[in-house]
Chains A and B, each alone.
Chain A
Amino acid sequence: MTDLYQSQRAMRNMRRAAMQRGVIAILDVGTSKIACLVLRFDGPERFREDGLGSMAGQSSFRVIGAATTRSRGVRFGEIDAMQETERAIRTAVQAAQKMANVRVDHVIACLSGARPKSYGLAGDIEIAAEQVTEQDVARVLAACDVPDYGSEREVLHAQPVNFALDHRSGLADPRGQNGHRLACDMHLLTVETTALQNLLYCIKRCDLELAGLASSAYVAGIASLVEDEQELGAACIDMGGGATGLSIFIKKHMIYADSVRMGGDHVTSDIAKGLQVPMATAERIKTFYGGVMATGMDDREMIEIGGDSGDWERDRRKVSRAELIGIMRPRVEEILEEVRARLDAAGFDSLPSQQIVLTGGASQIPGLDGLAARILGQNVRLGRPLRVQGLPQAATGAAFASSVGLCLFAAHPQDEWWDFEIPAERYPARSLKRAVKWFRDNW
């Protein structure tokens, strides 16, 4: 745990250094695209760490550079071919720097795959004094019994979501309150170490310093859920290219995150296989004519799929839009059913409000909300990310939900375990004893 503390705190310090310089980049490494945004922070006087500033604190920063490039070497949200991904990251970062005309040294990244796994942790302590102090908060966090998540996994988020003092639960801030027994619930999200390390290596190869890491399901939720939904309980489903992330929020805290290893790219490959066309053509057909709800009209709408087989005279195949929908719909249904299964496993149906927000690039399929309503429940809406200052029009779509969420995350990171101080008894007692001994010997 100490090791985790160190590395996460180092990242927090990096973020602070970047804030002082005023420029930070965010990097969304996805399966279909890599987006890099360069943010400029307008100084600490306008950047209020406490309560909310104007426009929910978003006015503290401004996007001054944005670049997107086709992702390469990424599958299921994990890095598959390192060199390729590194080149793609380089392309995006360079283009964003060029647009911003400023050099960026610190980057906050997110990743969508790497098999995230959620754990709910609980811990409680007896309070020595009557009032709860900072030290007590630190102690109760340290008292949470960490599950054995395996050596090949790494903690990505560890957010205290609830404090309870004696019989009162749901405390926002227990400090200063009177009580005897302090309990805490914590949400721990772990991901595979190898996927993380690959991403870190790629970023390092680009001469960038990592100032933070986030799960893309989490940041997409921040960006596309409105405040009420976060408060009352909602799930955000980020339908990306290679992975579909889902995160459940309640009381403005993420309590569950998972990812389904299927996404828009699978739909594309289904089309390519079903219609015998290249992937590029399949992607084009999907974006122009794709859909999930067939109507009578679609039988008559013929799509030229030009096989690009070199035989332009003979290869003039056409399919009806209904056929295309017939190929796409089962895959989309499969994804949504998988999501449904994950939500059920997480106990989403026991939440007071069961709002579901679809976002991400693949959520732009026409008719998806109707299909999702059938599978996931009635409260489904399509979500678009929050509008942030300076974001180009091309980057305001649903596909940029996690990028925008990362911007918000960079501006206002949620309190995590490592943001609280280390409990005093965790300090190595031996070194203190040695110091005392040294004094005794020498004075």
Chain B
Amino acid sequence: MQQVTAPLRRDPAPSRAAYRMHRLWLTPVFRALLRVGVPAFVVTMGFGLYLSDDTRRAALGDKVAAMTKSVQERPEFMVTLMAVDGASEPLAAAIRNLVVVEFPVSSFSLDLEAMRAQIETIDAVKSADLRIRAGGILQVDVTERDPAMVWRSAQGLFLLDETGHRIAGLTVRDARPDLALVAGDGADKAVPEALALMAAAGPIAGRIRGLVRMGERRWDLVLDREQRIQLPEDEPVAALERVIALDQAEDILERDLTVVDMRNMQRPTLRLAGDALARLRGEDLKPATRVAGELAGN
């Protein structure tokens, strides 16, 4: 019988624990855990412990901020002045007033997109294009809106562009006699239609005083001698052209009438002036022609 009480002198066999450890080490999951999990845990834990202190965190934040500042404030990134191109003098001044930038400033702290949006809130600006040019210049390229109409509204006189967008206020109508006048609520929303009407009304352009938006749905063309052409809601240009054709053939607008009612295209209606009917019934047409001639002469 071999000695059972005393341990063997030298045993080449691994102990049970060593054997199990070896097997554990050969387990792929355990190995992956030890190779990836433990280092990841140690790094995360160390980082967490380091950052759990407020002062350290603040110091770290300050350091990072200082570093970013030192990079951002390098002279290569500094912007020293703003150049506004494509704007008239007062608009450029308005833009400079609106976009207040304390120069010199780092290009990192300029939010060009926001500045562009801010500039485009100005009525007179159609579009703006901002970029930082070499040499530290904030370049603002502005496209202005072109005035196409004068709108007399309850608030006063305004210039409108061809889309009906308000450009600027106007103190007197005579400041822009080259532009047509529209009036009435909601006239700015139908400016393209008004422009088409004005273009169609070329033959009687000399007599036109303006267009009045009625009930925010249709136009009245107002002529001098307090004549009015009431246009329909649908296809006003065709109606106007019909009136002009009538005028060219029959000179109806020269007659003594106040309203040409084209609101119903099937039933054009004329309203004569108060005394015109009496004069028609009267003896001679002369006074009427005379008056018409007088008026035409005016």
Instruction: Using CB atoms and an 8 Å cutoff, list the residues of chain A in contact with chain B.
Output: 69, 81, 84, 87-88, 90-91, 93-94, 97-98, 101-103, 205-207
**Complex-state Cα separation, A90 to B19, whole angstroms:** 7
Q: Quick one: given A81-B2, A90-B16, A91-B13, are A102 and B26 in contact (CB under 8 Å)? A: yes
Flag whether B133 is at the interface (Cβ < 8 A): no
Is A206 a contact of B19 with CB atoms below 8 Å? Answer: yes
**Complex-state Cα separation, A88 to B11, whole angstroms:** 10
**Complex-state Cα separation, A262 to B26, whole angstroms:** 39
Is A91 a contact of B12 with CB atoms below 8 Å? Answer: yes
Can you list 17 A-B contacts (CB < 8 A)?
A69-B12, A81-B2, A84-B2, A87-B13, A90-B13, A90-B14, A90-B16, A90-B19, A94-B14, A94-B19, A97-B23, A98-B22, A101-B26, A103-B23, A205-B16, A206-B19, A207-B23
Residues of A within 8 A of B68 (CB): none
**Complex-state Cα separation, A98 to B23, whole angstroms:** 9
Smallest beta-carbon distance B4→chain A, Å? 8
Which A-B residue pairs are the 4 nearest by beta carbons? A87-B13, A103-B26, A91-B13, A90-B19
Could you count the A-B residue pairs with CB atoms below 8 Å apart for me: how many are there?
32
Residues of B within 8 A of A205 (CB): 16
Is A88 a contact of B13 with CB atoms below 8 Å? Answer: yes
Residue of chain A at shortest CB distance from B1: A81
Flag whether B27 is at the interface (Cβ < 8 A): yes
User: Which residues of chain B from 1 to 40 have a CB within 8 Å of any chain A CB?
Assistant: 2, 11-14, 16, 19-20, 22-23, 26-28
Residue of chain A at shortest CB distance from B28: A103
Residue of chain A at shortest CB distance from B27: A103
Residues of B within 8 A of A81 (CB): 2
**Complex-state Cα separation, A103 to B20, whole angstroms:** 11
Is B22 a contact of A94 with CB atoms below 8 Å? Answer: yes
**Complex-state Cα separation, A101 to B25, whole angstroms:** 10
Smallest beta-carbon distance B146→chain A, Å? 78
Smallest beta-carbon distance A435→chain B, Å? 42
Given A88-B13, A207-B23, 7 more A-B residue pairs with CB atoms under 8 Å apart are A90-B13, A91-B13, A97-B22, A97-B23, A101-B26, A103-B26, A205-B16
Residue-wise, chain B 104-147 has the 8 Å CB interface mask toward A (1 for contact) of: 00000000000000000000000000000000000000000000
When the two chains form the complex, which single residue of A84, A87, A102, A207 contacts B20, counting CB atoms closer than 8 Å? A207
Residues of B within 8 A of A87 (CB): 11, 13
Residue of chain A at shortest CB distance from B25: A103
Residue of chain B at shortest CB distance from A101: B26
**Complex-state Cα separation, A87 to B17, whole angstroms:** 12
- Determine the main DSSP class of A at the interface with B: helix
Residues of A within 8 A of B14 (CB): 90-91, 94
**Complex-state Cα separation, A101 to B26, whole angstroms:** 7
Residue of chain B at shortest CB distance from A83: B4
Residue-wise, chain B 173-214 has the 8 Å CB interface mask toward A (1 for contact) of: 000000000000000000000000000000000000000000
Residues of B within 8 A of A101 (CB): 26
Smallest beta-carbon distance B14→chain A, Å? 5
Smallest beta-carbon distance A83→chain B, Å? 8
Residues of A within 8 A of B27 (CB): 103
Residues of B within 8 A of A207 (CB): 19-20, 23
Residue of chain B at shortest CB distance from A208: B23
**Complex-state Cα separation, A93 to B19, whole angstroms:** 9
**Complex-state Cα separation, A94 to B2, whole angstroms:** 25
Smallest beta-carbon distance A10→chain B, Å? 22
**Complex-state Cα separation, A91 to B19, whole angstroms:** 8
Residues of A within 8 A of B26 (CB): 97, 101-103
Residues of A within 8 A of B2 (CB): 81, 84
Residues of B within 8 A of A102 (CB): 26
Residues of B within 8 A of A69 (CB): 12
Residues of A within 8 A of B23 (CB): 97, 103, 207
**Complex-state Cα separation, A1 to B190, whole angstroms:** 102
**Complex-state Cα separation, A97 to B2, whole angstroms:** 30
Smallest beta-carbon distance A183→chain B, Å? 49
Smallest beta-carbon distance A22→chain B, Å? 13
Q: Which of B12, B13, B16, B28 has the most CB of A within 10 A?
A: B13
Residues of A within 8 A of B13 (CB): 87-88, 90-91
**Complex-state Cα separation, A90 to B17, whole angstroms:** 11
Residues of B within 8 A of A206 (CB): 19
**Complex-state Cα separation, A87 to B10, whole angstroms:** 12
Residue of chain A at shortest CB distance from B19: A90
Smallest beta-carbon distance A27→chain B, Å? 14
Smallest beta-carbon distance A370→chain B, Å? 38
Residue of chain A at shortest CB distance from B26: A103
Residues of B within 8 A of A91 (CB): 12-14
User: Which residues of chain B from 143 to 189 have a CB within 8 Å of any chain A CB?
Assistant: none
Residue of chain A at shortest CB distance from B31: A103
Smallest beta-carbon distance A101→chain B, Å? 7
Residues of A within 8 A of B19 (CB): 90, 93-94, 206-207
**Complex-state Cα separation, A13 to B10, whole angstroms:** 39
Residues of A within 8 A of B20 (CB): 207
**Complex-state Cα separation, A84 to B3, whole angstroms:** 11
Residue of chain A at shortest CB distance from B30: A103
**Complex-state Cα separation, A207 to B26, whole angstroms:** 14
**Complex-state Cα separation, A69 to B14, whole angstroms:** 12
Smallest beta-carbon distance A257→chain B, Å? 31
**Complex-state Cα separation, A102 to B23, whole angstroms:** 8
Residues of B within 8 A of A84 (CB): 2
**Complex-state Cα separation, A98 to B16, whole angstroms:** 16
**Complex-state Cα separation, A94 to B20, whole angstroms:** 9
**Complex-state Cα separation, A88 to B14, whole angstroms:** 9
Smallest beta-carbon distance B127→chain A, Å? 67
Residue of chain A at shortest CB distance from B11: A87
Residues of B within 8 A of A98 (CB): 22
**Complex-state Cα separation, A207 to B24, whole angstroms:** 11
Residue of chain B at shortest CB distance from A92: B13
Smallest beta-carbon distance A24→chain B, Å? 15
**Complex-state Cα separation, A102 to B28, whole angstroms:** 8
Smallest beta-carbon distance B279→chain A, Å? 110
Smallest beta-carbon distance B226→chain A, Å? 100
Residues of A within 8 A of B12 (CB): 69, 91
Q: Which of A88, A94, A98 has the most CB of B within 10 A?
A: A94
Smallest beta-carbon distance A208→chain B, Å? 10
Residue-wise, chain B 85-108 has the 8 Å CB interface mask toward A (1 for contact) of: 000000000000000000000000
Smallest beta-carbon distance A78→chain B, Å? 16
**Complex-state Cα separation, A81 to B19, whole angstroms:** 20
